[in-house]
Amino acid sequence: MHLKFALPAVLLALAAAASAGVFPYRFETHTLANGLKVILVPMPAEGLVAYYSIVRTGSRDEVEPGRSGFAHFFEHMMFRGTERFPAGEYDRLITAMGANANAYTTDDYTCYHLSFAAKDLPQVVELEADRFQNLAYTEQDFQTEAGAVYGEYRKGRTNPFEVLEEALRDTAFEVHTYKHTTIGFEADIAAMPGMLDYSRSFFQRFYRPDNVIILVAGEIDPVEATLTLIRQHYGHWQSGYIPPQVPVEPEQTTPRRVEVPYQGRTLPLLAVMWKAPAFDPADLDVAAGLALGELLAGPTSPLYRELVLNRRTVQRLMGQFQAQRDPGLWGVIAQVAEDEHLPEVEKAIADAVAELERRPPAAEHLEAVKAHLRYSFLMSLETPDQLAGELAPWIALTGGVEGVDTFFATLERVTPAEVQRLAAARLRPERSTVAVLKGVE
């Protein structure tokens, strides 16, 4: 359900985007003396504000052997409170103001977000600044949360998609930290309760102002008052972030394959993935790749029409051509109707890739995909929370909002010939990893 103010705002956005860059709102970027970057986006929102704290640390930064899972672990621990605002008091205040507060972790960043009434912004800034600088927890708190994380991991084993991803990553990568999923290797998570001292060093290393970006969107005009609040509460936070040395993945030169047993009943899953470039909004390969994902496996693709609508051998077909900070994976995941259909589905995917290599996609199809990507982006900017949620990955990966317009300008330069060239260069068998998951009774 959309709020009543949303549609006019989006119509204005579309009009603005037609004559200028795609991102329709003005924004300001400020960097404090300690390196904390603050991005402010005033927008009409009927008294609502979104407050996002983006830590540019995710599971990719977990470079020490035996220490995977700590980026996700701190998504949990950051709600344990401080001496000034213990967990119960923090929760009480958030509930009293009617705010929505949550967090999530990815391979590349961790994001803490709140949505609330503009009148509560001073208290939110005070609360968030305190927990980012003064997080406090006992050994018992630590062990309780570590146990909860392991429980979350075990629960994830009941999801065949998570089991597939874990095996796929472990097979596709040799040394890069994308080898483990965001939650981490099981052995590391199981050992986590004995790593109290390491947890505190992790927080001290990565939760520094020069590794955090604060994004505030909504009814914050004029923005000077918001910036003053942030300077007041975050200005004494000590910098000191040192980026970890993330291993560089060697070039893949031979195809890889893994059979994944799933303990239980499930439809079979097939993942066909290829090594992909790191996200760069100015890189034509990146823009062409996101279009390629829709052309290869999107709802308007010949492959989708053949496997899902006509043959009905596939129940779900998903293109996975996401953006990542380092070279990652692009590919296709199919939820197949029966085990016996797996070979023909895999062949159909290979044939679809070969077809894109032989001849470029229709210009009209490509233009429709590009328009859909732009329109979908604009339609995700209706409320402050939606806008901030949409911008968070861009900010985490590039450090700012400017990459939005850069990317869509690059996307405009993508031609059918560029898509054909990219498919021939990137979707090579020697760069592929195939994972097949089947249920085991």
- Are 81 and 204 members of one domain? yes
Q: What pLDDT does residue 358 have?
A: 96
- Are 376 and 269 members of one domain? yes
Q: What pLDDT does residue 21 have?
A: 84
Q: What is the CATH number of the domain that holds 208?
A: 3.30.830.10
- Are 296 and 164 members of one domain? no
- Are 48 and 180 members of one domain? yes
Task: Give pLDDT tens digits for 189-217.
Answer: 999 999 999 999 999 999 999 999 999 99
Residue 251 pLDDT exceeds 60: yes
Tokens coding 56? 């540019």
Residue 163 pLDDT exceeds 60: yes
User: What is the model's pTM?
Assistant: 0.93
Task: Supply the range of the domain harboring residue 361.
Answer: 256-440
Measured between alpha carbons, how far is residue 415 from residues 17, 90, 173, 288, 362 in Å?
A: 21, 52, 31, 8, 10
Give percent of the chain above pLDDT 90: 94
Measured between alpha carbons, how far is residue 410 from residues 145, 285, 299, 399, 413 in Å?
A: 44, 9, 23, 18, 5
- Are 179 and 307 members of one domain? no
Q: What pLDDT does residue 16 have?
A: 45
- Dihedral pair phi/psi, residue 46, rounded to 5°: 50, 45
Q: Are 324 and 108 in contact (CB under 8 A)?
A: yes
- Are 417 and 274 members of one domain? yes
Q: Is residue 246 part of a domain?
A: no
Q: Which of 170, 202, 234 is the last residue of a domain?
A: 234
- Are 37 and 130 members of one domain? yes
- Are 275 and 202 members of one domain? no
User: How many structural domains are present in the chain?
Assistant: 2
Task: Give pLDDT tens digits for 349-383.
Answer: 999 999 999 999 999 999 999 999 999 999 999 99
Q: What pLDDT does residue 441 have?
A: 75
Q: What pLDDT does residue 20 have?
A: 60
